[in-house]
Amino acid sequence: MTPMTLLAEAPVERLGHPIDDEIACVSVRECNAVVDAWIPDWLRSSWEKSQRGESLDNEDVVGRALDFAYRLHDGQCRASGEPYILHPIAVASILKDLGGSNAMIAAGFLHDVVEDTDVSCDQIEEMFGKEVRQLVEGVTKLSKLSFESKTESQAENFRRMFLAMAQDIRVIIVKLADRLHNMRTLEHLRPEKQVLISRETREIFAPLANRLGLGQIKWELEDIAFKYIEPDQYQTMVSLVAETHEDRHEQLTEVTRVLADRLESMGIDDFEISGRPKHLYGIYRKMERQKKQYNEIYDIQAVRVIVNTKEECYRVLAVVHDHFCPIPGRFKDYIGLPKPNRYQSLHTAVIGPKGQPVEVQIRTWEMHHIADYGIAAHWKYKESNSTSKPLKGDDQKFTWLRQLVEWQRELKDPQEYLDSVKEDLFDSEVYVFSPKGDVYCLPRGSTPVDFAYRVHTEVGNHCSGALVNNVMVPLQRPLKHGDIVTILTQNNAHPSTDWINFVATNSAKSRIRQWFKRSRRDENLALGRSALERELGKNGLESLLKSDQMQKLAERCNYHNVEDLIAGIGYGETSVNSVVNKLRENQHNDRYFNPQKYEARHEPAHSNNSKSPILGLEGMVYSIAGCCTPLPGEPITGVVALGSNRGITIHRHDCINLANIPSDRLLHVGWNQQKENDHAQTYPIDIRVETIDRVGVLRDILTRLSDNKINVRKANVQTKKGKAAIIDLSIDISDRHQFDRVCNQINKMCDTLSVSRLVAE
């Protein structure tokens, strides 16, 4: 073992570690003593061997991983002042408790070494095998990338996380164990960072744990986050629970005694009855959601009964209802209809001996393992009960995960993607069936159209009607628990813009918008190409679009190929300015730009005394061409007009009307650069916005124009049932930068299908 060295005084930057903000010095003796106290019994033998300098067996992958991590984190400390190695030990211990394999536990020790040291993934594979390498690589925190916004950064992180999960679901188990220990040690951070990390935990990681059925982890994450986000409410809940503890304990003791006596008399000998405290955030959230007081919540006190078989579960239920008065509407059979995270149990609420409501949960041992450990229970239960049959339907349980991975290829807007992620992580409230008996969970208020898109995108795109319980219903009818839904499809059927107004899920809305955008692909390709030509010029554009550089740019923008990127520009999914700016990041791209246009954009500014916006036409009569309505910032060409008093007409450089004009009438002109405090001249521009028809959409567009101080001369709206709304606007624009900015803002509206500039024929 290499002796532990003292840390330097300089702080060490630790990327992606919210807990490790401070580095402290620690002596060799202190570190070894602290680590030794933390080593669990199952690691004790390997730890002592490594401390004595003895070689560890190749089969002991966990012990070797501990030794390797200990060496690499030599001398590093956490914000608490404790040796950093305690964090990997804690993460590995959590994974051990979840029943994780040796590879998972080894990954728990090594999950930070690739990012924080010089060790590579190839070295991890060489030392510990391919399986450990894949897990470590999957949970290694993302390097800092350059994003346009915090939202875009968060969306990209989630895209990569869900892709890693789809490849190996164990990746997120390791990541959740990492987050759980970080939350347990959150008190050592600054208050503002505590709140920031807690919000992310409550919004994403706790729902993720719930989706995977990791109930214990979910509850602990939520309670710790609750403590830091809403400290006053947290302390109130602690006080309320403490005040009623004695009364609850007496009532639960009496209920437990009655049930135990009755079950023994029925011949059910192998059972366990225990009290179950509900976690604080769960009580608080229910009080807020139902607008109730603490003493009105039914399941603050609960009894859990665990038996061996499903049949015994229902026999216990009969006993409970026979001895205590059941509360109407409070019975739920999650055994017959499991939750999407595989949770199974019978829930009922009864009036206890002291007149207070008590919740009773009844389940088998296997169900209990699944309730606490979720997907991890599959490994844990199989190892502890070799006679049990393999759990069925695992692949179907994570359809939501495969859908997230599928949608990430299609959703380019970061906020839209985040909305879909969060919607799918939080609890669904409506359980409906397909005609084959498959169970689907949807948010409350979902319609047959939401169901159709949940089954498959193409089922939704070709939906022509729906049967609910064998009765034809309107597509906008909300679904209820237990409905059997049959979707009718036709090859020539397609989405209607009306659907966007009644579907409840973000995923369905996204699919509908995608269909409308892609159904106009040829038109969008033409619009996208035209936008690129305006920015880069026609010369050399074809060679640029066919270049490897452009293909790499398309992939960087999350498109499969250049054609998809151009179409994305056409229907506003990405802005032409963003694409051009990324092209200009590399100096060697300059050769693709039209030299004449490039020079026009960088024309030397005219003297500040000039009041003419056109460079070179001071004192001359000129007019702006109505056919192409050029804006300052766009390459322009002057045309000597025919007639004695008509002067010069200013056209855009790519105006189609220039093709038939003799070269001797063309003038090379440019725009004068105005001072910032000059009163900017405006130019009339006509634009067309195609959008999903809904109440308030015109108001939202006009608000964006008003926010940019843009005058609207005229607005014309055309609507037709089942089709997109067409909004034609005449606006006053000061320059191309302002025009691009406002078009980009309108494009980012979730209902916008396209924004285009109108020109005279």
Among the options 30, 97, 115, 406, which is catalytic? 115
Tell me the C-alpha distance between 200 and 206, whole Å.
Answer: 9
Q: Band of the pLDDT at 164, cuts 50, 70, 90?
A: low
Question: Where does a domain end: 671, 697, 724?
Answer: 671
Among the options 67, 74, 116, 359, which is catalytic? 116
Q: Which of 220, 217, 216, 181 is nearest to 89 (CA)?
A: 181
For residues 578 and 474, state if they share a domain: no
> Is 116 marked active-site?
yes
SS3 label, residue 203: helix
For residues 528 and 509, state if they share a domain: no
State residue 684 phi and psi, 5-degree precision: -75, 130
Residue 305 has a pLDDT of: 92
As a whole number, mean pLDDT of residues 662-672 equals 80
Task: Tell me whether residue 741 is in a domain.
Answer: yes
CA distance to 159, 407, 410, 564, 759, per residue, from 524 (Å): 26, 21, 16, 10, 17
As a whole number, mean pLDDT of residues 490-506 equals 85
The strand ranges marked E within 541-647 are 614-615, 622-624, 636-640
Tell me the C-alpha distance between 218 and 339, whole Å.
Answer: 15
Residue 641 has a pLDDT of: 73
Task: Give the range among 162-166, 234-238, 479-483, 485-489 with minimum mean pLDDT.
Answer: 162-166
pLDDT 10s digits, 38-48: 788 888 888 87
The strand ranges marked E within 257-312 are 272-277, 301-307
> Is 585 marked active-site?
no
Mean pLDDT of the chain: 76
As a whole number, mean pLDDT of residues 699-716 equals 87
For residues 624 and 530, state if they share a domain: no
Task: Tell me whether residue 8 is in a domain.
Answer: no
Which pair of tokens denotes residue 162? 């869900």
Q: Are 579 and 520 in contact (CB under 8 A)?
A: no
Task: Tell me whether residue 19 is in a domain.
Answer: no
* Sign of torsion over alpha carbons 557, 561, 562, 565: negative
Task: Tell me whether residue 714 is in a domain.
Answer: yes
Task: Tell me whether residue 149 is in a domain.
Answer: no
Please name the amino acid found at residue 151. T
Structural domain for 630, as ranges: 599-671
* Sign of torsion over alpha carbons 339, 343, 348, 353: negative
Phi-psi region of 52 (alpha: psi -120 to 50; beta: other; left: phi over 0): alpha
For residues 572 and 639, state if they share a domain: no
For residues 41 and 124, state if they share a domain: yes
Q: Is the pLDDT of residue 760 over 80?
A: no
pLDDT 10s digits, 603-618: 333 333 445 678 766 6
Residue 647 has a pLDDT of: 72
Tell me the C-alpha distance between 636 and 463, whole Å.
Answer: 49
Query: Which CATH number do you get for residue 325?
Result: 3.30.460.10
Q: Is the pLDDT of residue 149 over 50?
A: no
For residues 71 and 199, state if they share a domain: yes
267 contacts: CB under 8 Å, gap ≥ 6: none
Which pair of tokens denotes residue 332? 């739920």
As a whole number, mean pLDDT of residues 191-219 equals 84
For residues 184 and 100, state if they share a domain: yes
Task: Tell me whether residue 4 is in a domain.
Answer: no
- What's the Rg (C-alpha) of the chain? 33
Task: Tell me whether residue 202 is in a domain.
Answer: yes
DSSP string, 404-441: HHHHHTT---HHHHHHHHHHHHSPP-EEEE-TT--EEE
CA triplet 441, 442, 443: central angle to 5 degrees?
135
For residues 120 and 214, state if they share a domain: yes
Tell me the C-alpha distance between 269 and 531, whole Å.
Answer: 77
Task: Tell me whether residue 396 is in a domain.
Answer: no
Question: Where does a domain end: 464, 499, 516?
Answer: 516
For residues 546 and 606, state if they share a domain: no
For residues 47 and 177, state if they share a domain: yes
pLDDT 10s digits, 427-460: 556 778 888 877 787 888 899 999 999 888 899 9
Q: Band of the pLDDT at 416, cuts 50, 70, 90?
A: low
Q: Is the pLDDT of residue 50 over 80?
A: no
Residue 590 has a pLDDT of: 41
Domain count, the chain: 6
Threshold 0.85, pTM exceeds: no
For residues 556 and 648, state if they share a domain: no
For residues 199 and 118, state if they share a domain: yes
Q: Which of 346, 371, 374 is nearest to 361 (CA)?
A: 346
Q: Is the pLDDT of residue 394 over 50?
A: no
Query: Which CATH number do you get for residue 100?
Result: 1.10.3210.10
pLDDT 10s digits, 133-147: 888 887 774 333 333
Question: Where does a domain end: 671, 704, 735?
Answer: 671
